[in-house]
Each structure stands twice: as structure tokens, then as C-alpha cells.
Structure 1
Amino acid sequence: MRGSIFFLFLTLSSLVALVHCYGGRVKFDPLGKFIESRRVKTSVNHMFTDDVSTEYSPVYVGVHDGLKELDKILKLPGQPSVKFDQYSGYVTVDPTAGRALFYYFTEAVNPSSKPLVLWLNGGPGCSSFGYGAMTELGPFRVNPDGKTLWHNKYAWNNVANVLFLESPAGVGFSYSNTTSDYTTGDKQTAADSYTFLVNWLERFPEYKIRDFYITGESYAGHYVPQLADLILKNNKITNQTVINLKGIAIGNAYIDSTDFLKGIVDHFWTSALISDEIHRRIVENCNYSSPSKKCYEYLGEASKAVGNIFIYDIYAPLCSSSSNSSSLSGFDPCSDNYVLTYLNTPEVQEALHANVTGNPGPWNGCSGDTDGIVPVTTTRYSMPKLGAPVKTPWYPWYSKDEVGGYVVEYENVTFVSIRGSGHFVPSYQPERALTFFTSFIDGKLPPGLN
């Protein structure tokens, strides 16, 4: 299992979809962060899912004439030449509250022949633009100088038109003029994301009938399926835009807290990050569905025992001022710092049409307090709960004649690993991630050996 990451595919409307990629970032001690959030049971973005309403009322739709042209990015500072168009700006989702969500959209080279894909980062409360676009699957990465960009040849806009949404309000460049909006939850996040999509499609009407997919990572295990569920419900009763949803994809999805705790503890143990003694105490004393105070104490021991490592890729070096050496995958562990510098540059914010005066502070990668890894064991423990029969038994899939990972197809759900990757798959294994994503868009399983 060394360095693997796992994906799931879900089916919507009898079409193949994918589930499983990564999420928000915290440098160390994700289990400790999670434990603390469960103790106080409060968060900027609640850990506990509030059900999406089954009732429908027409959502706010603004006037979008001419806004697409104003949102077009002429060229980002330090950007190399490319042959596709890109846009960024705001979509108001609540004019009374003054709540507006920031997006970044990168078209494919031949956009009319390719589907539309929405990407949501997790956290909760982490930037889909700063992380998803600028360090993972977007067309550009930031150089160490924090001023210039280089082209990512494995960007997902090779095969799709990709829309990155910073959600909920308060994340990244998204903002609200009503301070209370910065305390929110899953239900409001889904509702705002739906309103955003209805309005965005008014601004970009050529995408209204395009095949549409929702993708994301980590806490997007809540965001993605709840948004998909809301879309499917509203599509049946709305007299507004019907969204042509075909499938969803989530990496390392945080869905169930019980599976999360059991999965991360067993992952720590099997990866030799904690001792046999600590693991045994946790197993003997913890009911993961209702952890006791004593259980939290033992989980705290595990969190401390892991030590000072980059928990999202346990074999990677840390970013430090004395060493910027790349990880085994070739990914620079200091990339987040380069992005932070770049996106807080006035010239960059101006090129992105970012309203920094409307935000509560400078651009920051995450506003949530529950960031953490979601290991492969978490997903594997969740799979039996689906009760789906196996259609295609476990097999190795290939990218460039090397094993890219492993696949097992269930009825309507596919479980896929990406070999040699940490939590952020397109960052650590960009070529394998693109091979996998291309298969997903094509409605196929990842390729076997020819």
C-alpha cells in the first residue's frame, strides 16, 4: 500500500462516475485537529452534515449580459503562452447578504467538444483555486520565485473544461458583506453552489447542455454528493436551468467519521507511524462511532507519536527554509508557499478580477479547522456499506506500461488506486492522474496492460 491513494466511481443516471481524490491541508497533526474539532463540536464549516432540503424554490438569478467578456483573463503575470482561454470573477449567490463566490475557469484547447467539470477542494474551507488549480490539476504551477508560472502538461483541461469554485463564502477570494455568513454548514454550501451553477450557466450559456461532472477531494466527500443530490432533485421540479449531470468523482473522500477514525489509526499502524502498543490500546478502548474521553486520550497519543512529518505524503520531505528538495514523486513540498506569495501579489489579484477589499483579509489557502488526510483504509472500510456486487474483479491498471494502480468495479461504483501518490494525486502523480481522469470522462475503467 506504500504511497497509494484510492478513488471511487459512482453512477448517476446510469452513467459511470468517479469518487475519490484529496482535500484541505494542514502541515502536521491532522488527527489532533480532528479530535479537537469533535471535542468542541463546532467549526467554521460544521463537521456534521445537515440534510439537504427536499423542497424547492426558484433560486436567485442575476443579469449576466457582458460579464463573460469582463471575466476573461488576458494573461496572468508571469504566465507562459498557451492556446486556451481562461476566465475568473464572481457570481453573486445572495444579493441581499452581498454573498459572492469566486471562480476560475480554464477551457480546453477545443472546448466545444469536451465536457464541463466542476472541481471542489475539501478542508472544509480550503481553496479550490489556490490548491486544486495552482498545485494539482490546473494548467499552471507557481515557480519558487512566487512571481512566474510554468505550464503543467498533465492538466485536466487537456480533456475537459474545468471550473474551480471557491466555496463557501470566506474561502479564498469568495466573500460576503454579512459577517454571519462566515459561520456555515453543508446545507448552505450545497445551496450556494447550486445557485452559483445556475447563474454561471447564464453567463456561459454554451455550456448549458454540455455533459457535466462534479469532482473534488477530501471533505468534498460531503460537498460533491450533496450538491449532486440537490441538482438531481431540482432537475425534476425546476423551471430554471436543468443541469446535465452525468457523474461525480471524489478523491480520498471524507464521508463517514467512524470510517475516518478507524481508517487513519490502522493506516498509521500499518505504515509504522505508531507503535503496536498504542494501536492495541486504541483498538481495545475505542468505539469509533461514539468515542469516549479515554478513547480521545489514546487517539491523542497516536497523533503525538506520528511526529513532525508531512502527513499528506509520509515519505516526502518537509518544506523548510534550509531545504526545498522535492519528494520522491518530484513534487516540491514548498509549492503552497509559492502560491501564497503569488496570489497575494496585487498585479495577480487584478488580473484575476479579485475583490480583495470585500474579503476579511489577504488570500489564504484554508479557513476551516478540520483539515486532515483521509487514507486508503478509510475508503476500503466504507465500501462494504454500499452492498454492491463485484462486476470486474481487482486488476492492475497501467499508465505508460507501468502499473498506475489497481481497480475493482462494483455495481455502479468503482474503487481505484493511484500508485505512488500521497493525498494530492494530481500533484504527486500528474501523469497517472490524467490517465485515470481521461478514463473517467470517457466512461471507461482505467486501462489494463495491452
Structure 2
Amino acid sequence: MNEVFQDYSEIDIYNIYAPKCRLNSTSAIASEGLEQLTKGRNDYRMKRKRIFGGYDPCYSTYAEKYFNRIDVQSSFHVNTERGNTNITWEVCNNSILQTYNFSVFSILPIYTKLIKGGLKIWIYSGDADGRVPVIGTRYCVEALGLPLKSSWRSWYLDNQVGGRIVEYEGLTYVTVRGAGHLVPLNKPKEALSLIHSFLAGDRLPTRR
């Protein structure tokens, strides 16, 4: 697994086809990126590079810088109550992850219970997600042993393939084409269509 993750270090594991953030790859690039973050809005469009499709791979870097500003933390009362001025906010906090031990061997029994309760369940995955890959989720769904309601087929948005969909008795599994781990971030229009269909009780369009 260490060898696998070493290879992943060269790409974004959360979106394997997206560009990787390079703000911290060299001091020059980092300086340029940090300068852009502190610039006023007047020259924002002139200085900042456009990213294809509107996706910016450095979004988490921007978020961390913002939430670690003293004025922002003060507005959330992060430091004032405990008098701690050394709190560093991180998108993924490994110290919390490593100490969190409230877990179960498998959540499949929970799905079984919810399905028996008659709840409508959709599971969705971006097909460019390397952290929780489509194939892994598919294995889990199939392990439930649910009767097949309708086989794999494409669903569409704006006459383009939005992803794939398969329906079981009690559960629907949907993939979003070209999306990574954070589907609404990578494919906001497709994500909105998916969520709207779920909430409205509509079927995703399977014809152009």
C-alpha cells in the first residue's frame, strides 16, 4: 500500500484526472500563489490563472489559509474562549483521524436495516475518485445481495452522458462521469441534477 500511495503522491487521489495543486511545489510558485490570495478583488481576474472547467485544484489550500486567519478564527470564537493562539485548522486532520476509534467492522448491516425499513436510498460516486473508487463501492453494494431491478445504463444531462446508474430492490447506485471524491465541487450541474431527482422522486433521464 505504501508503494501505491507513493505513486498517488504525484496525482490527486481525490480526483485522479484533475490537475494537482502546485502552490507549494517550489518557493516561486508558492510565493506567487500566496500573493494571489492576499491581493484585493480589483485585480483578481487579471492575476489568477483560469482553470479548465472552473475547477481549482488548490481550493483546500485557500480554505486552510482563510480559516487560519486570526480575524476569521476570532469571529468563530476559536481562540478567545481557551486563550489558545496556536490552533491550526486543516482540511484533513490526521491527529483526529488517528485517534478516532468509534467504528464498526461493516456498515452493510445498517444498509440492510434501512432498506427493510422502506427508506429510499441512493449511493453516488465520482468515477475519477481514487480514494473511494467506484469499483470498491460497487463490490460493497453487490455484497448486499439485493435483487436487480434494472441493469447498468447511462443517464444524461444536456445531451451528454452524466454517468451510469443501476437499480436494485431498495437501493440505487449512481456514478457521475468525470467527478472525483467531491462530486458537487467537480461536477456541480450533474450533482444538482442527481440531488434534485432524488428529492423530487424523479428518474434520472436515461435518454438524450
TM-score, normalised with respect to structure 2 = 0.62
Q: Is the 8 A contact 1:316 1:328 kept in 2?
A: no
- The corresponding residue for 2:44 is none
Which of residues 130, 133, 140 in structure 2 aligns to 1:382?
140
Give a deviation string over 1:210-243, Cα, whole Å, max 9, x none: xxxxxxxxxxxxxxxxxxxxxxxxxxxxxxxxxx
- The corresponding residue for 2:170 is 412
Q: CA deviation at 1:318?
A: 1.8
User: How many residues were matched structurally?
Assistant: 151
CA distance 1:326–1:368, change in 2 (3 Å): farther
Which of residues 21, 29, 32 in structure 2 aligns to 1:319?
21
Q: CA deviation at 1:317?
A: 1.9
Where do 1:29-428 residues align within 5 Å? Answer: 299-321=1-23, 322=29, 329-351=53-75, 353-357=76-80, 358=82, 361-368=87-94, 373-428=131-186
Question: How far apart are the structure 2 equivalents of 1:376 and 1:303?
Answer: 18
Q: Which stretches in structure 2 are left out of the alignment for 5+ residues? A: 24-28, 34-48, 99-129
Give a deviation string over 1:331-363, Cα, whole Å, max 9, x none: 111111111122223333444x43334477132
Q: Is the 8 A contact 1:394 1:406 kept in 2?
A: yes
Q: CA deviation at 1:415?
A: 0.7
Question: How far apart are the structure 1 equivalents of 2:91 and 2:4?
Answer: 27
- The corresponding residue for 2:110 is none
Q: CA deviation at 1:399?
A: 1.6
Question: How far apart are the structure 2 equivalents of 1:330 and 1:414?
Answer: 29
- The corresponding residue for 1:45 is none
CA distance 1:406–1:339, change in 2 (3 Å): same
Q: CA deviation at 1:431?
A: 0.8
Report SS of the residue matched to 2:62: helix
CA distance 1:405–1:378, change in 2 (3 Å): same
Q: CA deviation at 1:378?
A: 0.7
Q: CA deviation at 1:395?
A: 1.9
CA distance 1:326–1:378, change in 2 (3 Å): farther
Q: Is the 8 A contact 1:312 1:422 kept in 2?
A: yes
Q: Which has the higher contact order (CA 8 A, sep 6+)?
A: 1
Q: CA deviation at 1:328?
A: 5.2
Matching residue's letter, 1:381: Y
The runs of at least 4 aligned residues of structure 1 exceeding 6 Å deviation read none
Q: Is the 8 A contact 1:329 1:420 kept in 2?
A: no
Question: How far apart are the structure 2 equivalents of 1:326 and 1:378?
Answer: 33
Question: How far apart are the structure 2 equivalents of 1:434 and 1:424?
Answer: 13
Question: How far apart are the structure 1 equivalents of 2:18 and 2:68?
Answer: 27
Q: CA deviation at 1:311?
A: 1.4
Question: How far apart are the structure 1 equivalents of 2:68 and 2:6?
Answer: 33
Q: Which stretches in structure 1 are left out of the alignment for 5+ residues? A: 1-298
Q: CA deviation at 1:392?
A: 2.3
TM-score, normalised with respect to structure 1 = 0.30
Question: How far apart are the structure 1 equivalents of 2:15 and 2:50?
Answer: 12
Question: How far apart are the structure 2 equivalents of 1:425 and 1:410?
Answer: 22
